[in-house]
Chains A and B, each alone.
Chain A
């Protein structure tokens, strides 16, 4: 058990990286609290797996430090770190039985036979394979193999952290939900630090207390699921989280108003004159239609997705989505929308800026 800190971390897969583009991980400063349940969320190729492999010691970062409870572990081998990691695709030792597979990490650490038996029994119950212990791992199906991989990750009690690298990719959808719930219960029971990599926001939101969003080799935000939804710190968080994602409109900021395509939109506070590309963002859930006033939009399509409807529209050529409840009125092709000021975020060069005065929500 340890608090894991990453300080000024960067990694490039090239031996002589020249500029920022050569880095898979740009600068990262991040601390994982002991016992936290984290999700690491981001699109494919944003550096999630690289970050995980640096924490577990499979990779040594090009620059920066990895600290476990303040001790520098940057160069320490995997075996010295005592970290468990489960990979995206199942890895089992074909020639061993299920039992031996689960016992393998403990045997390598020369644990007592009694203790090993007890842990294997417990973990096999957890993954629902207690009656298949004697079988050879070779003949198992992909999701059974992945359950063994998960089991091997959880069999050690004293690990500093358990890292999951999109572990449920090959698992059936209904089993996915069940295993995720079990992982969550396991976390609550034993309090291991868990870091769960995924590109699926639902998975991240249901598993984790804290979500770390990565984009293009950087951590763009760390926060609770609610924070990410309500106050995204970066435009990427805005449109990656939520379905559909946040509406982002090019705007000019003039004090406490934003001007979008000639329409004045009041903001909740007074902003300094920003330099850089400025956008305002509003969640589709907060966009509402109105009969008087508002900003004119062209409605292009209305999608019925069960409990609510998604309205696809255009505001001066920029797509704009709105989520409406079922009983909302029918819309004309040209309608008017209003944005509640406290739900509008202002982004300069993709990063959120706060008002100088007047509280935003």
Chain B
């Protein structure tokens, strides 16, 4: 059949193009604009080339924040993924308790970020917080306003509390999808508990775990609200992660040029790492297929 070709059909795309431009492309281009120009107000811009990028890359500030961010994401992944798998393995496979566990697991995911932050802010206060005052009375210095270790511990515990459930739910779904025959065959082959995990469960969980790791990496790498509410980036700048630093730079100091350059690099780093995850996942998928 002959296809009718009419280029005027492209006009049909215009509304969505306008919408996307208004909501995404133009704001992003504004950021790009700020990253390469300087302004003294009145909408007068001077081209400065890559000067802002050089400034941001040349200062320790972004590198420190990036380092803290990488340590935070790595710590969070290192705790949440094994813990999530362990909880998923321990959950009942069927019956009323399976549903109860699933609901309990889903609860933290339903709480807004700033509420989680407030809960933990109160929880760790040394005067009225359950954890803070208990530790204080035991003679442990757990003042998150002064003690960087306490601040870090709190921020990481909070993220684990908030987001391990996501890994649990994904791993649980992955485990439920393993056919019984695999467990039966492993029993017949007299495999121990560890061998069953290592050779049956873990390989079958690989797909969902990659998704869990990708999601948790992206989210933790962009974390803002919770540490902002709990520590405000302090004490000093010890819990100032990339987005907290970015907001300080852009809104606190109103350094729009460096902040814009910072944003673009931040975005590119996330894009790059996500692309790496995606590529790994795709390659693994390809190997799964029979010849």
Contacts and interface: CB of A to CB of B under 8 A. Distances in A.
Interface string B181-218: 11011011111100100011001100000000000000
Contacts of A77: 187
B287 interface: yes
B189 A104 contact: yes
A315 interface: no
B285 to A, nearest CB: 11
Interface in B108-159: none
Range of interface residues on B (Cβ < 8 Å)? 20 to 34
Contacts of A84: 188
A85 B180 CA distance: 14
Interface in A128-162: 136, 138-141, 149, 152-153
Given A91-B182, A138-B287, A79 B187 contact: yes
A87 B291 contact: no
A223 interface: no
B181 to A, nearest CB: 5
A152 B190 CA distance: 12
Given A58-B187, A89-B181, A95-B203, A108 B192 contact: yes
A152 B186 CA distance: 11
B contact face: mostly helix, strand, loop, or mixed: helix
A78 interface: yes
Contact of B199 (A53, A57, A93): A93
Contacts of A94: 203-204
B41 interface: no
B187 A91 contact: no
B211 to A, nearest CB: 18
Interface of B: 179, 181-182, 184-185, 187-192, 195, 199-200, 203-204, 287-291
7 contacts: A53-B184, A58-B187, A85-B185, A96-B199, A108-B189, A138-B287, A149-B185
Given A57-B187, A58-B188, A87-B185, 20 more contacts: A58-B187, A77-B187, A78-B190, A79-B187, A84-B188, A85-B188, A87-B184, A89-B179, A91-B184, A93-B200, A94-B203, A95-B199, A95-B203, A105-B189, A138-B288, A139-B291, A140-B290, A141-B290, A152-B185, A153-B188
